[in-house]
Amino acid sequence: MQALTAIARRLVPIRSAQVCIAFGDWSCQDGLRGNPRAPVQALKKELERRATVLPVDKFRTSKLCSGCHKRLLSARLLTKVKDRETEKTSIVLKKNRNVLCCKNSRCKAHFWNRDVNAARKILELLQCRLSGLGRLAAFKR
């Protein structure tokens, strides 16, 4: 658990109840395919020793644009693909799960990294919660 303590110290160098961390409700208890489970709850406990940790429902945070709250689509990007039989490399358009595209013409952002977009939304949801506004309508279940 020394590694988790070190991570918590890097994130929150000085203990303070005024530091607020939004902690997503990641529910993948079995871990990701081919990888060991992450010590999510242990990290949460370490962070709670150093700061105020508030749970945040991540519902729709990676599906809606953090700029305009419209639905995001998987972006099609030029990708190198190697044919297994002929060993030839070609460039094709493929959907990319990590890059999302906002089709709203009025939105300032067109492409989003999925994780950056979700982090921005979680921060906005936390700010709304702390200011007493409640959850934004687009992110309610």
* 70-101 pLDDT tens trace: 999 999 988 899 888 888 899 999 998 899 99
Render pLDDT for 32-61 as a digit per residue (tens, 0 to 9). 677 777 888 899 999 999 999 999 998 989
What is this structure's pTM?
0.79
Q: How far apart are CA 57 and CA 42, in angstroms?
A: 19
